[in-house]
Amino acid sequence: MSTETFHTVAQVGEVPEGQGLAVEVDGRMIALFHEGGQYYAMDDCCPHQGAPLSDGLVYDKSVECSWHGWRFSLESGKWLDSPRTCVKTYPVRVEGTDIKIGL
Protein backbone atom coordinates (compact mmCIF):
# COMPACT_ATOMS: atom_id res chain seq x y z
CA MET A 1 0.00 0.00 0.00
CA SER A 2 1.35 3.39 -1.03
CA THR A 3 1.89 6.04 1.62
CA GLU A 4 2.37 8.83 -0.95
CA THR A 5 0.20 11.90 -0.78
CA PHE A 6 -0.58 13.44 -4.15
CA HIS A 7 -0.59 17.23 -4.44
CA THR A 8 -2.20 19.21 -7.28
CA VAL A 9 0.56 21.35 -8.81
CA ALA A 10 -0.78 22.41 -12.22
CA GLN A 11 -3.57 21.99 -14.73
CA VAL A 12 -3.38 20.13 -18.02
CA GLY A 13 -2.31 22.69 -20.63
CA GLU A 14 -0.15 24.75 -18.24
CA VAL A 15 3.08 22.92 -19.13
CA PRO A 16 3.72 23.06 -22.88
CA GLU A 17 4.99 19.91 -24.58
CA GLY A 18 8.78 19.74 -24.38
CA GLN A 19 9.08 22.17 -21.47
CA GLY A 20 9.39 22.25 -17.70
CA LEU A 21 7.74 24.17 -14.89
CA ALA A 22 9.07 24.80 -11.37
CA VAL A 23 6.49 24.03 -8.67
CA GLU A 24 6.71 24.05 -4.89
CA VAL A 25 5.31 21.09 -2.95
CA ASP A 26 5.61 20.99 0.85
CA GLY A 27 8.51 23.47 0.77
CA ARG A 28 10.38 21.45 -1.88
CA MET A 29 11.11 22.77 -5.40
CA ILE A 30 10.18 20.21 -8.03
CA ALA A 31 10.52 20.38 -11.81
CA LEU A 32 7.44 19.18 -13.69
CA PHE A 33 8.02 18.22 -17.33
CA HIS A 34 5.72 17.43 -20.26
CA GLU A 35 7.37 15.20 -22.85
CA GLY A 36 5.81 12.84 -25.38
CA GLY A 37 2.34 13.36 -23.93
CA GLN A 38 3.53 12.22 -20.46
CA TYR A 39 4.29 14.21 -17.31
CA TYR A 40 7.42 13.64 -15.21
CA ALA A 41 8.64 15.18 -11.96
CA MET A 42 12.05 15.43 -10.30
CA ASP A 43 13.89 17.65 -7.85
CA ASP A 44 14.47 21.03 -9.49
CA CYS A 45 18.18 21.14 -8.68
CA CYS A 46 21.07 19.82 -10.75
CA PRO A 47 23.46 17.96 -8.43
CA HIS A 48 26.46 19.44 -10.27
CA GLN A 49 26.11 23.12 -9.25
CA GLY A 50 22.47 23.64 -8.27
CA ALA A 51 20.98 24.93 -11.53
CA PRO A 52 17.18 24.73 -11.85
CA LEU A 53 16.42 21.75 -14.08
CA SER A 54 12.99 23.17 -14.92
CA ASP A 55 14.81 25.69 -17.17
CA GLY A 56 16.59 22.91 -19.09
CA LEU A 57 16.17 21.68 -22.63
CA VAL A 58 13.71 18.75 -22.75
CA TYR A 59 14.05 16.09 -25.45
CA ASP A 60 14.14 12.31 -25.92
CA LYS A 61 12.74 11.67 -22.39
CA SER A 62 15.56 13.68 -20.83
CA VAL A 63 16.33 17.15 -19.54
CA GLU A 64 19.62 18.93 -20.20
CA CYS A 65 20.81 21.31 -17.48
CA SER A 66 20.98 24.83 -18.88
CA TRP A 67 24.23 25.66 -17.04
CA HIS A 68 26.63 22.88 -18.00
CA GLY A 69 24.75 20.41 -20.20
CA TRP A 70 24.34 17.49 -17.80
CA ARG A 71 21.46 15.33 -19.08
CA PHE A 72 19.10 13.42 -16.80
CA SER A 73 16.51 10.77 -17.63
CA LEU A 74 12.98 12.04 -16.98
CA GLU A 75 11.93 8.48 -16.12
CA SER A 76 14.65 7.48 -13.64
CA GLY A 77 16.45 10.73 -12.76
CA LYS A 78 19.80 9.15 -13.66
CA TRP A 79 22.57 11.27 -15.16
CA LEU A 80 22.99 9.84 -18.64
CA ASP A 81 26.82 10.07 -18.54
CA SER A 82 27.17 8.31 -15.18
CA PRO A 83 24.08 6.48 -13.87
CA ARG A 84 25.50 6.44 -10.31
CA THR A 85 24.54 10.12 -10.05
CA CYS A 86 20.83 10.83 -10.05
CA VAL A 87 18.09 13.29 -9.20
CA LYS A 88 15.11 12.16 -7.11
CA THR A 89 12.00 11.55 -9.20
CA TYR A 90 8.35 11.57 -8.11
CA PRO A 91 5.24 9.85 -9.42
CA VAL A 92 2.86 12.00 -11.44
CA ARG A 93 -0.77 11.34 -12.23
CA VAL A 94 -3.49 13.26 -14.02
CA GLU A 95 -6.98 13.32 -12.53
CA GLY A 96 -9.41 15.16 -14.74
CA THR A 97 -7.52 18.36 -15.53
CA ASP A 98 -5.38 18.28 -12.34
CA ILE A 99 -1.72 17.28 -12.56
CA LYS A 100 -0.64 15.76 -9.24
CA ILE A 101 2.78 14.87 -7.83
CA GLY A 102 3.16 12.21 -5.14
CA LEU A 103 5.45 12.75 -2.16
What's the CATH number where 71 sits? 2.102.10.10
> Is residue 84 a part of any domain in this protein?
yes
Q: Is the pLDDT of residue 1 over 70?
A: no
Distance CA 90, CA 103 (A): 7
pLDDT in tens, 41-89: 999 999 999 999 999 999 999 999 999 999 999 999 999 999 899 999 9
Query: What pLDDT is recorded for position 4?
Result: 85
Judge if pTM exceeds 0.85.
yes
- Amino acid letter at 56? G
Q: How far is CA 4 from CA 1, 26, 91, in A?
A: 9, 13, 9
Query: What pLDDT is recorded for position 51?
Result: 96
Q: Is the pLDDT of residue 27 over 90?
A: yes
CB 45 within 8 A of CB 87: yes
> Is residue 1 a part of any domain in this protein?
no
Count of structural domains, the chain: 1
> Is residue 102 a part of any domain in this protein?
no
